[in-house]
């Protein structure tokens, strides 16, 4: 599968807050066979996040992430390294033949300020074809 990922960072190069939006077109034959699901999508991204973070754990969030007209399943994750504590949200959904994943992360200490602002801005996003 090939897709496009857009990454947004703050102006402060030392700020670890990042927002990534990934759109992956899925093969039509596999879609009609039911090979792709929202759970599969979330697991793809969680596996990638967990790969380099041994202290990683994730918990599903019941509420959907609102991104324009999309409502995406989301998982909150945390990892604690030697010098850094990070938290993030991995979200994913199927949208007319493609996976749309929105992931954002930042330092555990700043997330209470940055995550609400990211969630508000995502409500007005438009992810077109």
Three-state SS for the chain is CCEEEEEEECCCCCCCCEEEEEEEECCHHHHHCCCCCHHHHHHHHHHHHHCCCCCEEEEEEEEEEEECCEEEEEEEEEEECCCCEEEEEEEEEECCCEEEEEEEEEECCCHHHHHHHHHHHHCCCCCCC
Domain spans of the chain, in order of start: 13-122
CATH number of 13-122: 3.40.1000.10
pLDDT digits (tens, 9 = 90+) for 58-96: 999 999 999 999 999 999 999 887 777 889 999 998 888
Each residue's pLDDT tens digit, 38-57: 888 888 888 888 887 778 88
């Amino acid at each position: 599968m090939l897709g496009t990922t857009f990454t947004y960072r703050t102006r402060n190069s030392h700020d670890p807050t990042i927002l990534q939006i990934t759109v992956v077109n899925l093969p039509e034959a596999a879609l009609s066979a039911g090979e792709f699901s929202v759970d599969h999508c979330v697991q793809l991204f969680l596996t990638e996040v967990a790969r380099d973070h041994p202290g990683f754990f994730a918990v599903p969030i019941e509420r959907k992430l609102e991104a324009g007209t999309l409502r995406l399943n989301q998982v909150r994750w945390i990892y604690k390294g030697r010098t850094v504590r990070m938290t993030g949200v991995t979200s994913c959904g199927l949208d007319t033949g493609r996976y749309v994943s929105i992931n954002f992360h930042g330092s555990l200490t700043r997330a209470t300020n940055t995550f609400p602002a990211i969630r508000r801005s995502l409500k007005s996003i438009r992810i077109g074809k």
